[in-house]
Amino acid sequence: MPSVDFDEVSKYVRLPDEARVLLERPERELRITMSLRLDSELMQTDVYVVYYNTARGPAKGGIRFWPTVTMDHTIELAEKMVWKTALAGVPFGGGKSGIALDPGKFSRMQKTAILKEYVHALRPDLIGGTYVPAPDMGTGSADMAVIFGETHLLESVTGKPPRVGGLPGRLEATGRGLSTCVRAAARKFLGRDLDGLTVAIQGFGNVGSWCAHFLDQYGARVVAVSDISGGVTAGSGLDVRRLAEWANQGNLLRDFAEYDKISNEELLAMNVDILVPAATEDVLTGENASAVSAKMIVEGANGPTTAEADAVLNDRGLPVLPDILANSGGVIASYIEWRKAKSGSLTSREETFQMVDDLVLAAFDRVTERTESWKTTPRVAARALSVEEVVNTMNDRGWI
């Protein structure tokens, strides 16, 4: 079932029946049985590939290398990429792929062999530009370099290391865009800049840690962060740089001795100005949403708020900036890298950040303007704007 409530969206934008038929299901679903011998053992697993809608450009979405990935989950993630790319204004459609394996169980060489087999199965789409993958859970820049090594096309994949045709600033881009959205939302909904505002961030991986880094630079007081083990807190503010160094060495936050400990549930209920759920899906639920004490929520993860939680938070009048707006910095940077690969141009880290900031802020302004004029929530406004963009593109292409 699509994540967008098309009945609600149609209250605000034109949604012809012909368009709705195309948007309620993926264009293409592939289920591949991968089989290869790793050392002396035979490895077999399912690979899921979904191109949800390609009206606006190639299917764009990461490779999730994770044991719990399913076709239904891959469809859901591919659909969200349709709305995210449309809202950001970059010329991509939405796609996703999943390899149902635990990345922690394989050596670097074994993982490389698996990814090469993945490329073998999808070579026509990767070479032809139908699908442009990127990193996701369980994959990183080294894995994207493997894909480039098999296709020999720089534009066939994004998220590569800078020395392998990648983009300076791509690693930080999602956290950068998220922090830019937090800053704009503070000005809009709290009526002040970030200086001195308190922030709690659930999730201290790539997105959460870089968001914390930039918010700290902007003058916010990051008072709590967490990972899968739990978190740490300090009312006077955390030393974000030292915590990032600790985490990057493979350590768990609960083992950092200098700060008070906090659980993930306690972090979500902290009395802070801004809560940033940047870990995983469905952490804010109908059961715990009433305990949220923050004045504003900005979604760093994909789908961290369930529909039940969203209803509770809306009833309480808490602004919730949705994921398709707040964490779009990564796909914006992917577009810059893809464009750079096709043109041969050079791009600096500062130029990457500037374009991420510009497009995130432009989308933020559109969403908040429609939130006010339509008297609805930022989530509904963002979804309606995205659907409107895709419908107009399908009309331009003669699909409807």
178 and 82, same structural domain? no
pLDDT tens, position by position, 210-266: 999 999 999 999 999 999 999 999 999 999 999 999 999 999 999 999 999 999 999
Q: Using CA of residue 211, residue 194, residue 190, residue 268, what is the dihedral sign?
A: positive
Q: Which of 311, 326, 341 is the last residue of a domain?
A: 326
What is the distance between the alpha carbons of residues 126 and 134, in angstroms, rounded to a whole number? Answer: 12
Alpha helices in the chain (DSSP H): 6-9, 17-23, 71-88, 108-128, 141-151, 170-185, 206-217, 240-248, 264-268, 307-315, 323-326, 329-343, 349-374, 378-396
Q: Using CA of residue 328, residue 330, residue 331, residue 337, what is the dihedral sign?
A: positive
- On whether residue 394 sits in a domain, the answer given is no
Q: Using CA of residue 252, residue 255, residue 259, residue 265, what is the dihedral sign?
A: positive
Which residue type, as a one-letter code, is found at position 42?
A: L
For residue 94, what is the domain's CATH number? 3.40.50.10860
Strands 230-233 and 260-262: antiparallel
* 105 is an active site residue: no
Residue 48 near residue 69, CB atoms below 8 Å: yes
- Tell how far CA 256 is from the center of its chain: 27
Q: Which of 96, 111, 160, 340 is catalytic?
A: 96
pLDDT category, 3, cuts 50, 70, 90? confident
Residue 150 near residue 116, CB atoms below 8 Å: yes
What is the distance between the alpha carbons of residues 340 and 171, in angstroms, rounded to a whole number? Answer: 16
247 and 163, same structural domain? no
What is the distance between the alpha carbons of residues 246 and 133, in angstroms, rounded to a whole number? Answer: 30
User: Tokens representing 181?
Assistant: 């959205």
Which residues are CB-neighbours of 152 under 8 A, at least 6 positions away? none
At residue 390, does pLDDT exceed 70? Answer: yes
- On whether residue 19 sits in a domain, the answer given is no
- On whether residue 261 sits in a domain, the answer given is yes
- On whether residue 109 sits in a domain, the answer given is yes
52 and 121, same structural domain? yes
289 and 192, same structural domain? yes
Q: Using CA of residue 312, residue 390, residue 278, residue 375, what is the dihedral sign?
A: negative
- On whether residue 60 sits in a domain, the answer given is yes
Q: What percentage of the chain reaches a pLDDT higher than 70?
A: 100
pLDDT category, 70, cuts 50, 70, 90? very high
For residue 190, what is the domain's CATH number? 3.40.50.720
User: Tokens representing 389?
Assistant: 């963009």
- On whether residue 275 sits in a domain, the answer given is yes
- On whether residue 48 sits in a domain, the answer given is yes
At residue 193, does pLDDT exceed 80? Answer: yes
- On whether residue 16 sits in a domain, the answer given is no
Read off the pLDDT of each residue in 171-186 and give the average, rounded to a whole number: 97
Angstrom distances, CA of residue 286 to CA of 41, 122, 167, 282, 305:
45, 40, 40, 10, 9
pLDDT category, 104, cuts 50, 70, 90? very high
181 and 317, same structural domain? yes
Total domains present in the chain: 2
At residue 1, does pLDDT exceed 80? Answer: no
pLDDT category, 114, cuts 50, 70, 90? very high
Q: What is the mean pLDDT of the chain?
A: 96
In 3D, which of 228, 229, 259 has the Cα closest to residue 242?
259
322 and 176, same structural domain? yes
Identify the pLDDT of residue 131: 98
58 and 102, same structural domain? yes
Identify the pLDDT of residue 40: 85
Identify the pLDDT of residue 107: 95
Q: Which of 326, 360, 389 is the last residue of a domain?
A: 326
125 and 257, same structural domain? no
Q: Which of 326, 358, 379 is the last residue of a domain?
A: 326
Read off the pLDDT of each residue in 351-378 and give the average, rounded to a whole number: 98
In 3D, which of 206, 202, 213 has the Cα closest to residue 179?
213
Identify the pLDDT of residue 39: 86
What number of CA atoms fall less than 13 Å from residue 58's CA on the CB side?
Answer: 22
DSSP state, residue 164 = G
Q: Which domain holds residue 268?
A: 172-326
Backbone phi, then psi, for 95, in 5-degree steps?
-150, 175
Q: The tokens 């290869």 sit on which residue? A: 36
pLDDT tens, position by position, 369-382: 999 999 999 999 99
196 and 55, same structural domain? no
212 and 164, same structural domain? no
pLDDT category, 76, cuts 50, 70, 90? very high
Q: The tokens 């509904």 sit on which residue? A: 380
319 and 177, same structural domain? yes
307 and 199, same structural domain? yes
Strands 221-227 and 230-233: antiparallel
Q: The tokens 């820049």 sit on which residue? A: 141
At residue 195, does pLDDT exceed 80? Answer: yes
At residue 142, does pLDDT exceed 80? Answer: yes
